[in-house]
Structure 1
Amino acid sequence: MPTCIIAIIEVFLQCKTTSIMETSHSQDAIIGRIRHIMQLQHLSQSQLAKTIGIDASNVSKYLSGRLPVSEALLNRIVVNLNISKDWLRDGKGLPFDKVSRAMSVSSGEVAVSCINEGIPVYDIDVAAGCTEMTRAFTEENVIGRLNFPNLNPEWIVVRAKGDSMMPKINNGGYVAFLPQSDLQNILWGQIYVVVMENRRVVKYVRRHQEDPSKVVLRSENRNYDDMDVAINDICALYVVERIINIQDCV
């Protein structure tokens, strides 16, 4: 065989081997980052599978390297765990570049008032249903007022009950939002006050992977299952702007 042909074959084999090694190293690194996220968010393989909407047996295959990590899998993890794709795929930046719009306010920054100072805290638990929720934003339902830095005087505040959003939002903590609902332009991955006919919840709102007529309501606390809700069953969505984790402030 001519020397030039042998040289070409050797170069081809060397390039192919290098490509395979680079792919292998890339896959191993991505798997390592997936495991890191699972550890940070205290997710078992079955919990990860349920969160991103795939079969639990496939998660085991991905993590063991028996299945190659696909672009579709990366997208599912990015969307459902709210992490940076650049970090997950290439190791660039930080895992949680996509941060929640809602900012937390420390208890030391909050001043409590029972007079006309600060933004109102509404007792919306007296209301039930869509119409009553709107009517609850009146002076007669104000049970106190809060002051904290950089507040928007148009915000209103309600109490969040339960532990489904802990540790992000404490049981008995408060959330501030503008009383402007927009069901047409949902900010995916953000925390919302979600108003339905017979209940009100504070949840992350996620895009439904299979049915565009629905959304996924997700808790911070992984002990709570996701909720699939039809958009038509939602009366109002209020994006949370501030989280105030103090109790018994009013």
Structure 2
Amino acid sequence: MLPAMSSILERINKIAEHEKVTISSIETRINASKGVLSRSLRTGTDISSKWLTAIVENYPLYNAEWLLTGRGEMLRDAGDRFTVKQISKLRADRDKDVQRIPLYPMAASAGIFEIIASEQHLKSIPIEYIHIPRMPECDGAVPITGDSMYPLIKSGDIVLFKEVHDKTNIIWGEMYLAAIKHRGDSFFFSKYIQKAEREGYARFVSANSHHQPVEFPIDSIRALAIIKATIRFQSSF
């Protein structure tokens, strides 16, 4: 067993108790097979580091240092240092003195369909609310996984978004969350959207140069939200 793994298992169980959910629900959120966590809790066997990372990314309100080492408080508090970076400020945007922005879980299996697609929006239950002053109006926030927009957005950052209901209102060159369904495959990513040379297509471009641009028909976009700002916690992971 890895050092202190039994203590980590106990802390995962505390997260489940605090969230008032089952371990099976946590497995679903982190896109793990049924039994990956519950089996370890029952037998005391090691949990793969990728599942610990997934817990950190999908439960951003919990102190990662506490989960991994037991040091500090279980929940992040005002003492955690974080930075808010505004990504998009359009001419029509009006800052609000303060707003209560719902924070949604970002399980890989759920994708954006349960978060920003209009027909699903009411079915998504926020895990918390973020109070942000002097920021353009936002519809929600989600933690991001992956490195396609690194270094602007890194895995674990929280992005604040504003839904786009009409795809003809895409502002070329801005950064978006997009859910795509094309030729039977579904994709979800955060990227810049540029106008493609092909008529009726959009070009999705990463900040990370290791990711090649891709093009999809605009009609394949199932849900879209412009990224207004990011939140990055500075506490040690």
Q: TM-score, normalised by structure 1?
A: 0.47
User: Greater RCO between the two (CA within 8 Å, min separation 6)?
Assistant: 2
When you count helix as a share of all residues, which structure comes out higher? 1
Normalising by structure 2, what TM-score?
0.50
- Identify the structure with the greater strand proportion: 2
